[in-house]
Amino acid sequence: MPAKRFPNTSEERIDILRAIIKQEEAIDLKNGILSVSEQREVYNLLLAFENALSYFKQTLENEIKADKSYSNLFKTAQLYISHFIQVLNLAVVRNEIKAEALLYYGFENNHAFTVPDLSTEEAILKWGEQLIKGETERISRGGAPIYCPTISKVIVHYDLFKEATQSLELYRKNTNRCRETIDEMNKKIDRLIWDTWTKVEFQYWKLPEEERRQKFNDYGIMFHGY
């Protein structure tokens, strides 16, 4: 008889637990492999595992949706921040805004004219915050607001993106926690399955090969090469 193998997937584990429960329920307690408490443990573990998988599926779907929203909001915030910087630069070139005012926005040496790299989340959050602070500071000193886009438009899309980063981080943490829970349950289920299979082999090893093979199949025992 080839060596037994552990289940590889959650679906296989569920099928085996169900097979064990079904087989134990089909025979009387005296001839069963498991005690009443052991049967209850298998049933409770199956129920908990199915619930954990269902919750993991939901958290994963939430993360995927949040990631899609994050990507869209990233592009929009990137567009508005880039556009605002370009308009700011043009205002400086036309002498509508003094070059030294660029210091309010976090530009060094009173010189912008080149849109900074906005390809990362960190850059969007950094420059969005600096533009908001800079425009607020310049206006408070008597400067005229920039239009097309206004800083209020930048704020809207910056805030939406910032909220999206926080939401996505939360969803990712939830998904990782669920994944860790399932990994731990997999280990527990594998131990329980292996212990049950060992008892099945011990109980039926004297049967003729065909009958023994059927018993193994009834309890979901899997072998390498099968």
- Domain contains 127: yes
pTM of the model: 0.81
pLDDT category of residue 28 using cuts at 50, 70 and 90? confident
- Domain contains 4: no
pLDDT surpasses 70 at 1: no
Beta strands in the chain (DSSP E): none
What is the rounded average pLDDT for all residues in the chain?
93
pLDDT surpasses 80 at 113: no
Domain assignment of residue 74, given as a range? 29-180
pLDDT surpasses 80 at 29: no
- Domain contains 83: yes
pLDDT attached to residue 31:
73
> Percent of the chain at pLDDT above 90?
81
Average pLDDT over every residue of 98-109: 88
Average pLDDT over every residue of 193-206: 92
- Domain contains 120: yes
DSSP 97: S
Task: Say what angle helices 209-218 and 151-204 make with each other, to 10 degrees.
Answer: 150
pLDDT attached to residue 192:
96
pLDDT category of residue 111 using cuts at 50, 70 and 90? low
Lowest average pLDDT, out of 7-21, 105-119, 127-141, 208-222, goes to 105-119
Q: What total number of domains does the chain contain? A: 1
Beta strands in 152-203 (DSSP E): none
- Domain contains 15: no
Q: 45-76: buried (b, 16+ CB within 10 Å) or exposed (e) per residue? A: bbeebeebbeebeebeebbeebeebbeebbee
Average pLDDT over every residue of 78-87: 97
- Domain contains 193: no
DSSP string, 120-170: SHHHHHHHHHHHHHHHHHHHHTTPPPP-SS-HHHHHHHHHHHHHHHHHHHH
- Domain contains 119: yes
- Domain contains 63: yes
Average pLDDT over every residue of 125-147: 96
pLDDT surpasses 70 at 10: yes
CB neighbour class for 130 (10 Å; exposed up to 12, middle 13-18, buried from 19): middle
pLDDT attached to residue 225:
56
